[in-house]
């Protein structure tokens, strides 16, 4: 689904955000991505979203090399990627329904189809009865679930999450994680960037650990997890 | 920000669509049929227009201000152009008085004078000629000038034979050509163009036209800048929305479209108000101007804007608005990129 091949990213200010990072994310797998702030998690996500381009190496999504993509291909790439943000990135000038419908409107679905798919996505995250509300009236956990519904509403093969449980208590975090695991089970490649080591510890999923732009751990063993100075916080 | 606009217009089921198999590879892979996407594209245009009008209506006071600024900027050249059109129509009626006085040499006989007059009538740009013999001239001069006694004291009639030439045009260049051609004719002593004032009037009208063109250009630029600024603020206030749209795969065209519609609506609205302003001003000026025209013995009356201008002005203004929006979007939309 996603393949990084010796990817390096140096920002114009000379900072090396990523150095020769290689890994593969298969479909149907949930993977954690962790590391300190500034270790390169955000840069890695930005490269997948084509917000940034690699300085060296190749990023492949569905077997296609993003280096060959022009700017006009970016929207079509992003339609294949569901993105969940820590701060939800919801629009408070419209209803929950309209927030979730946005990717479908952009992709050009018919109205009838939009209604069906939005309700299916809201049903999945358990917010079907809140579709007419403004997201500002929802709790933090509910807002995050609206964000997830929006990310998955057009059934993307890839789901990225940036600190999805950052502002949530453990019980709510667990609900969110259950959702992500469900998506992985139906074949979506899920990549969750997080600081939350207790969250990582609770699940036995593959873990990618970044330190100063290098991939220092890749596997589903817990050795690289949290206990050492790598990302102890 | 906007109230829940789509809540107000609930989504209507139209036609069920079979789930299309998703093509796995390719950035161009589409999960929607062409027909669906066309329908959706049309829908998006309609929604963009509705959204633009909705937002203009939401910020009613500032929108009204923008539209008024545009209207005033446009009504100035438009109103002046209408007045100039009227001036041109009125002076067209005065052109009949324009003529050239061709004084012949003293020794040209009367028969020769009449021959010349007949010949000239066949020339281009000459409508008719009128012969005034030396005797007629003397009689007229004596009757009109009050110098009759003095003239009688002279041994000879001092007045030359005269042919009055009425041109069929008042175009300054044509008249000057005619003047030169007649002056070169044998037997002609002096050609006097009695239409200097017509020339001056035409020069004034031409000056007016140029001034209006310059004014139009300057104020059209002002309209574009007003819209650029308004749209820039609109883009700024919708930054969050633009970021989200870009993250979920909205094309630049999708992001641009509502702003282009907003720009067009501002322009078009300003143009409509400008039409109203001009027509009101003309109605208000109508009385005094008709009186003035009556004093100049003109049959003309002040005419309003041409029916075509009633459409052309708002459309022109709408295009200016579109241009302004395009510039604003081109400059500022690229600055807004998702980040996290």
Under 8 Å between Cβ of B272 and B321: no
For chain B, say whether A75 makes contact (Cβ under 8 Å): yes
Give strand pairing partners of B130: B164
pLDDT score, position B302: 64
The mean predicted confidence, pLDDT, of chain A is 88
Mean pLDDT to the nearest integer, A18-26: 92
Reported in sequence order, the residue ranges of A93-228 that DSSP labels E, i.e. its strands, are 158-162, 189-193, 206-211, 214-219
**What's the pLDDT score for residue A26?**
92
Q: Is B35 helix (H, G, I), strand (E, B) or coil?
A: helix
Q: Where are the alpha helices (DSSP H) in chain B?
A: 5-8, 34-58, 60-94, 110-121, 134-145, 148-153, 172-184, 196-237, 239-247, 252-295, 307-332
Strands A189-193, A206-211: pairing is: unpaired
Phi-psi region of B125 (alpha: psi -120 to 50; beta: other; left: phi over 0): left
Q: Which pLDDT score, from 0 to 100, does residue A133 have?
A: 94
Residue closest to A43 by CA, chosen among A31, A26, A55: A55
Pick the more confident residue, A228 or B323.
B323
Q: How many CB pairs (< 8 A) connect A and B?
A: 127
- CA B271/CA B77 separation, integer angstroms: 12
Q: Is the CB of A111 less than 8 angstroms away from the CB of B340?
A: no
Min Cα–Cα distance to chain A from B6, Å:
7
- Residue A116 backbone phi and psi in degrees, to 5: -60, -50
Q: Mean pLDDT lowest for which of A52-61, A175-184, B30-39, B64-73?
A: B30-39
pLDDT tens digit string along A69-89? 988 899 999 999 999 988 888
pLDDT at B246: 92
Report CB contact under 8 Å: B248, A79: yes
Average pLDDT, stretch B264-282?
Answer: 94
The mean pLDDT value of chain B amounts to: 81
Q: Does the pLDDT value for residue B28 go beyond 60?
A: no
User: Quick check: B21 pLDDT over 50?
Assistant: no
Please give, rounded to a whole number of angstroms, the shortest distance from the CA of B248 to a CA of chain A: 5
What predicted TM-score, i.e. pTM, was given to this entire model?
A: 0.71
Name the residue ranges covered by the structural domains of chain B.
Answer: 43-93+201-332, 99-194
**What sign does the CA torsion over B166, B170, B176, B178 have?**
negative
Q: Complex ipTM, two decimals?
A: 0.88
Percent of chain B with pLDDT over 90: 26
Q: What mean pLDDT do residues B131-142 have?
A: 84
- Is 50 exceeded by the pLDDT of residue A66? yes
The 3-state secondary structure of A125-151, one letter per residue: CCCHHHCCCCHHHCCHHHHHHHHHHHH
CA dihedral A43, A45, A47, A50 (to 10 degrees): -120
From A72, A79, A115, residue closest to B11, measured CB to CB: A115
Write the DSSP assignment of B136-200 as a string of letters. HHHHHHHHHHS-HHHHHHSSS--PPPEEEEEES---HHHHHHHHHHHHHSTTEEEEEETTHHHHH
Q: Is the pLDDT confidence value at A223 over 70?
A: no
Q: Output the six-digit token pair for B331.
A: 């400059």
pLDDT digits (tens, 9 = 90+) for B283-322: 888 878 777 777 766 666 667 777 788 889 999 999 999 9
Contact present, B104 and B187 (Cβ < 8 Å)? yes
Confidence of residue A227 (pLDDT cuts 50, 70, 90): very low
**Pairwise CB contact (< 8 Å): A93 & B241:** yes
**Cβ of A106 and B14 within 8 Å?**
no
Angle at B338 between CA B334 and CA B340, to 5 degrees: 145
Nearest to B41 among A45, A108, A154 (CB): A108
Give the pLDDT confidence score for residue B301 in this predicted structure.
63
Separation of first and last alpha carbons in chain B? 23
Q: What pLDDT is stored for residue B71 in this prediction? A: 95
- The 10s digit of each residue's pLDDT in B242-261 is 999 999 999 888 889 999 99
Instruction: Verify whether the Cβ–Cβ distance B248 to A73 is below 8 Å.
Output: no
B27 CB neighbours in chain A (<8 A) are 64, 69, 73, 76-77
Instruction: Give the integer Cα–Cα distance in Å for A197 and B103.
Output: 112
Q: Does A177 have pLDDT greater than 50?
A: yes
Can you give the pLDDT at residue B224? 96
Q: Which residues contact B103 (CB under 8 A, 6 or more apart)?
A: B160, B161, B162, B188, B189, B190, B191, B192
Q: Is residue A224 pLDDT above 50, yes or no?
A: no
Closest chain B residue to the Cα of A117, Cα to Cα: B19
pLDDT of residue A222: 57
CB contact set of A161 (below 8 Å; sequence gap of 6+): A83, A84, A151, A180, A190, A191, A192, A193, A194
Beta bridge partners of A34: A209
A81-84 sheet: strands from edge to edge: A81-84, A158-162, A189-193, A30-34, A206-211, A214-219
- Report pLDDT digits (tens) over B99-124: 788 898 888 888 888 888 888 888 88
Tell me which chain B residues have a C-beta less than 8 angstroms from the C-beta of A40: none
Domains and CATH numbers, chain A: 1-80+156-233 (3.40.50.300), 90-155 (no CATH)
Q: B31: pLDDT confidence band, cut at 50, 70 and 90? A: low
**Which of A226-230, B188-192, B235-239 has the largest mean confidence?**
B235-239
pLDDT 10s digits, B148-197: 677 777 778 888 899 988 888 767 788 888 888 888 888 888 888 766 67
pLDDT band at residue B329 under the 50/70/90 scheme: very high
pLDDT of residue B32: 67
Four-residue CA torsion sign, A168, A170, A175, A176: positive
Mean pLDDT of the A203-207 span: 90
Contacts of B42 in chain A (CB under 8 A): none
CATH number for the domain formed by residue range(s) B99-194 = 3.30.70.3040
CA A230 to chain B, closest CA, distance in angstroms equals 23
Q: What is the pLDDT of residues A127-144, one digit of tens each?
A: 999 999 999 999 988 999
Encode burial over A214-227: b for 16+ CB neighbours within 10 A, e otherwise.
ebebbeeeeebbbe
Interface test with B, best of A111, A153, A189 (most B CBs within 10 A): A111
- Which residues numbered 140-199 in A keep a CB inside 8 Å of some CB on B? 150, 154-155, 162
Cα-based angle A112, B254, B62 (whole degrees, multiple of 5): 105
Tokens of B325: 């929006």
Residues of chain A found within 8 Å of residue B241, distances taken between Cβ atoms = 91, 93
Using the predicted structure, report yes or no on whether residue B263 has a pLDDT greater than 90: yes
Hey, which residues does B101 pair with through a beta bridge? Answer: B164, B192
- Interface mutation vs chain B, best among A113, A143, A159, most B CBs within 10 Å: A113
């Amino acid at each position: 689904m996603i393949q990084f091949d010796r990817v390096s990213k140096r920002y114009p200010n000379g900072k090396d955000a990523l150095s020769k990072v290689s890994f593969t994310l298969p479909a149907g797998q949930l993977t954690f991505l962790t590391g300190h702030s500034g270790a390169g998690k955000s840069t890695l996500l930005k490269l997948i979203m084509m917000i940034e381009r690699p300085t060296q190496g190749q990023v492949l999504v569905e077997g296609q090399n993003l280096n060959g993509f022009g700017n006009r291909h970016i929207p079509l790439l992003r339609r294949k990627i569901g993105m969940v943000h820590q701060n939800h990135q919801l629009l408070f000038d419209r209803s929950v329904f309209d927030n979730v419908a946005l990717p479908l409107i952009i992709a050009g679905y018919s109205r009838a189809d939009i209604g069906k798919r939005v309700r299916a996505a809201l049903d999945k995250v358990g917010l079907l009865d809140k579709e007419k509300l403004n997201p500002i009236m929802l709790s933090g956990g509910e807002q995050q679930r609206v964000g997830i519904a929006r990310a998955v509403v057009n059934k993307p093969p890839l789901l990225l999450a940036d600190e999805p449980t950052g502002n949530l208590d453990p019980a709510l975090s667990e609900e969110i994680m259950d959702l992500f695991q469900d998506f992985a089970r139906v074949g979506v490649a899920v990549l969750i960037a997080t600081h939350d080591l207790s969250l990582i510890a609770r699940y036995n999923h593959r873990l990618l650990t970044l330190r100063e732009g290098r991939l220092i751990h890749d596997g589903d063993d817990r050795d690289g997890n949290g206990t050492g100075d790598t990302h102890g916080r | 920000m906007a109230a829940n606009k789509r809540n107000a217009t609930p989504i209507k089921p139209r036609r069920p669509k079979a789930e299309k198999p998703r093509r796995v590879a390719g950035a161009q892979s589409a999960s929607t049929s062409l027909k669906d996407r066309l329908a959706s594209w049309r829908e998006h245009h309609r929604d963009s227009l509705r959204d633009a009008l909705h937002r203009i209506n939401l910020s009613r006071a500032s929108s009204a201000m923008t539209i008024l600024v545009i209207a005033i900027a446009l009504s100035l050249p438009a109103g002046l152009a209408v007045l100039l059109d009227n001036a041109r129509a009125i002076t067209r009626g005065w052109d009949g008085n324009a003529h050239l006085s061709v004084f012949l040499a003293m020794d040209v006989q009367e028969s020769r004078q009449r021959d010349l007059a007949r010949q000239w009538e066949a020339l281009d740009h000459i409508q008719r000629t009128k012969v005034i013999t030396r005797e007629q001239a003397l009689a007229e001069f004596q009757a009109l000038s009050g110098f009759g006694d003095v003239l009688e004291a002279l041994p000879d009639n001092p007045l030359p034979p005269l042919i009055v030439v009425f041109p069929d045009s008042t175009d300054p260049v044509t008249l000057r050509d005619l003047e030169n051609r007649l002056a070169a004719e044998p037997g002609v002593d002096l050609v006097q163009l009695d239409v200097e004032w017509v020339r001056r009037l035409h020069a004034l009208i031409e000056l007016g036209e140029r001034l209006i063109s310059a004014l139009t250009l300057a104020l059209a630029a002002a309209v574009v800048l007003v819209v650029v600024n308004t749209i820039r603020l609109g883009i700024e206030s919708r930054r969050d929305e633009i970021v989200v749209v870009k993250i979920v795969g909205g094309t630049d065209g999708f992001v641009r479209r509502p702003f282009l519609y907003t720009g067009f609506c501002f322009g078009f609205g300003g143009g409509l108000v400008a039409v109203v302003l001009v027509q009101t001003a003309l109605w208000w000026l109508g009385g005094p101007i008709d009186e003035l025209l009556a004093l100049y013995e003109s049959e003309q009356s002040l005419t309003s804007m041409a029916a075509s201008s009633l459409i052309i002005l708002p459309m022109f203004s709408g295009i200016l608005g579109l241009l302004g929006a395009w510039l604003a979007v081109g400059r500022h939309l690229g600055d807004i990129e998702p980040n996290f």
